[in-house]
């Protein structure tokens, strides 16, 4: 009797079930690299715009991808598609953001002075950025997330519910309120004397 | 706030998503958007967010995907090692607890039934040709601290040191 007969593939370093069960092919480095190139920028934009902190967005984006790869039940990009993978990634990032805001020792988004976001926005070259930055800063973090997911990423109400963990039925109302509020703020921003030129 | 949805909202949203606004939009719909508050909000917000998204995604310094892949591999390996090590740590704690229980039980038993069998230890110094009392500091000898206390104390200390060193080396 030898070990190979007791535990098949034990010397090859292969898990016993891997040789028998037809599993989904694991994500390889090249597939991940492609997915990363296509998903990292939108994810960073989401994190940076909803948190108002580009450095935090850098950290959380990297952490999101690492957790995506380490997930115990990973999304198979080949089987479920890249859209599902990206949705899962945004969900991880949303949870990380929520954890960050819940942590008592770290600065919460509510504690960040409005000038910080306003200064970030005004330093941007685009005029739309300078208008949207202060308007976003006056909204609650959840509203910022909902608005970004709906209007920048184009997710449906059901997808937003899946990403944020909110009830699907409440998304419509929350989004309607948030949109009404930011539209009002955007109109006020653009009607300021400095903006009318 | 009353949620009033406009019947044209879906059509406007579709045009905005496909990039057809305002070029591919019918003049009637365009006229409707200027008069409808809900659709007006939608156009304003969607355009602002789309511009912000384009601006934000243009200037993102990305780290190499290989770095993240490597970090994920490290974390997975670490998690696997922790998973394997957890039962071993449990077994160590269990063994330590059993040993402590045995020691306590033994001591309790000995206290109850007397320590007569240990009397031979007290005879030891007299049986040696070399008198160990000469090695003790006079303060110890004066305080009456006998070998009966010292030897078990030293033995316990050595045993505990061994356990601590073993656990520390094992953790490393």
Quick one: pLDDT at residue A86? 92
What pLDDT, on the 0 to 100 scale, is given for residue A147?
A: 94
* B37 and B107 both lie in a single domain: no
pLDDT at B162: 77
What pLDDT, on a 0 to 100 scale, did the predictor assign at position A160? 95
Q: How close is the nearest chain A Cα to the Cα of B32, in Å?
A: 17
Which of A143, A177, A183 is the mutation pick for testing B, counting most B CBs within 10 A?
A: A183
The hierarchical CATH code for the domain A113-197 is: 1.10.10.10
- Distance (Å, whole) CA A151 – CA A174: 14
Q: What is the ipTM of this complex?
A: 0.72
Peptide bond into B22 cis (omega under 30): yes
Q: Is B63 a domain residue?
A: no
| CA-to-CA dists, residue A128 to A120, B129, B142, angstroms | 13, 99, 90
Residues sharing a CB contact under 8 Å with residue B133, sequence separation 6 or more, in sequence order: B125, B141
Task: Find the Cα–Cα–Cα–Cα dihedral B120, B125, B130, B132, rounded to 10°.
Answer: 140
Contacts of A45 in chain B (CB under 8 A): 52-53, 56-57, 60
Q: Is A24-112 a CATH 1.10.1740 domain?
A: yes
Predicted local confidence at residue A112, as pLDDT: 53
At A1 the pLDDT is 46
Domain with CATH 1.10.1740 in chain A: 24-112
Q: B90 and B31 in one domain?
A: no
Task: Report the C-alpha gap between B126 and B93 in whole angstroms.
Answer: 42
| B71–chain A Cβ distance below 8 A for any pair | yes
A85 vs A118, higher pLDDT: A85
Q: Tens digit of pLDDT for each residue in B98-153?
A: 888 888 888 887 777 766 666 666 666 666 555 655 666 555 555 555 666 667 77
Tens of pLDDT, residue by residue over B60-70, are 888 899 999 99
pLDDT at B109: 78
Q: Is residue B89 part of a domain?
A: yes
- Please tell me if residue B42 touches chain A, with a CB cutoff of 8 Å: yes
pLDDT at A20: 40
Token reading at B85? 């090590």
Over residues A26-82, the pLDDT tens digits come to 678 888 999 999 999 999 999 999 998 889 999 999 999 999 999 877 777 777 788
Least confident of A3-17, A177-191, B3-17: A3-17
Distance CA A152, CA A134 (A): 17
- Chain B residues in contact with A29 by the CB 8 A cut-off are 65-66, 69
Give chain B's domain count.
Answer: 2
Q: How confident is the model at residue A23 (pLDDT cuts 50, 70, 90)?
A: very low
- B142 in a domain, yes or no? yes
Parts of chain A belonging to CATH 1.10.10.10: 113-197
Looking at residue A144, its pLDDT comes to: 94
Shortest Cα distance from B34 to chain A (angstroms)? 14
Same-domain check for residues B50 and B99: no
A74 touches B: beta carbon within 8 Å: no
How many whole angstroms separate alpha carbon A79 and alpha carbon B91?
Answer: 41
Q: What is the pLDDT of residue B145?
A: 55
Residue numbers in A near B65 (CB within 8 A): 29, 32-33, 36-37, 65
By mean pLDDT, which of A85-99, A145-159, B12-26, B122-136 is the weakest?
Answer: B122-136
Task: Please give the pLDDT value at position B134.
Answer: 61
Which has more confidence, A141 or A21? Answer: A141
* B89 & B156 share domain: yes
Instruction: Determine contact: A151 vs chain B, CB below 8 A.
Output: yes
User: In angstroms, rounded to a whole number, what is the distance separating the alpha carbons of residues A116 and A96?
Assistant: 22
Q: What pLDDT shows up at residue B116?
A: 65
Confidence bin at B171 (pLDDT 50/70/90):
low
User: Which site among B15, B21, B60, B71 would you substitute to test the A interface, given the most A Cβ atoms closer than 10 Å to its Cβ?
Assistant: B60
Residue A124 scores a pLDDT above 80: no
Which of B49, B55, B63, B76 is the best mutation test for A, with the most CBs of A within 10 A?
A: B49
- From the CA of B94, how many Å to the nearest CA of chain A? 29
**What b-and-e string marks burial along A112-126, b requiring 16 or more CB atoms within 10 Å of the CB?**
eeeeebeebbeebee
Q: Write out the residue range of the structural domain in which residue B53 sits.
A: 9-58
């Amino acid at each position: 009797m030898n070990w190979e007969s007791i535990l098949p593939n034990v010397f090859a370093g292969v898990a016993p079930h891997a040789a028998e069960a037809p599993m989904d092919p694991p994500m390889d480095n090249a597939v991940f690299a492609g997915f990363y190139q296509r998903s990292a920028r939108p994810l960073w934009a989401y994190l940076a715009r909803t948190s108002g902190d580009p450095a935090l967005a850098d950290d959380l984006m990297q952490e999101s991808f690492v957790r995506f790869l380490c997930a115990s039940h990973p999304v198979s990009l080949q089987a479920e598609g890249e859209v599902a993978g990206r949705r899962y990634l945004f969900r991880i990032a949303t949870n990380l953001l929520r954890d960050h805001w819940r942590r008592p020792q770290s600065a919460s988004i509510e504690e960040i002075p409005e000038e910080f976001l306003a200064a970030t926005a005004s330093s941007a070259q685009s005029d739309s950025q300078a208008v949207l930055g202060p308007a976003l800063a006056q909204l609650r973090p959840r509203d910022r997330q909902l608005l970004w997911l709906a209007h920048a990423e184009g997710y449906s109400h059901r997808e937003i519910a899946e990403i944020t963990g909110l009830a699907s039925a409440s998304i419509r109302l929350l989004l309607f309120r948030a949109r009404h509020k930011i539209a009002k703020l955007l109109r006020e921003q653009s009607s300021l004397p400095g903006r009318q030129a | 706030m009353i949620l009033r949805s406009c019947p044209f909202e879906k059509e406007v949203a579709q045009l905005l998503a496909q990039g057809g606004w305002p070029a591919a939009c019918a003049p009637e719909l365009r006229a409707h958007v200027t008069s409808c508050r809900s659709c007006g909000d939608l156009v304003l917000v969607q355009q602002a967010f789309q511009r912000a998204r384009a601006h934000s995604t243009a200037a993102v310094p990305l780290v190499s995907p290989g770095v993240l892949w490597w970090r994920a591999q490290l974390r997975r390996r670490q998690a696997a090692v922790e998973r394997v090590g957890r039962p071993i740590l449990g077994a160590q704690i269990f063994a330590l607890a059993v040993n402590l229980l045995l020691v306590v039980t033994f001591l309790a038993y000995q206290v109850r039934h007397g320590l007569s069998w240990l009397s031979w230890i007290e005879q030891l110094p007299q049986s040696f040709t070399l008198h160990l009392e000469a090695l003790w500091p006079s303060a110890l000898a004066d305080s009456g601290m006998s070998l009966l206390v010292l030897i078990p104390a030293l033995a316990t200390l050595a045993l505990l040191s061994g356990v601590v060193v073993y656990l520390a080396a094992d953790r490393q």
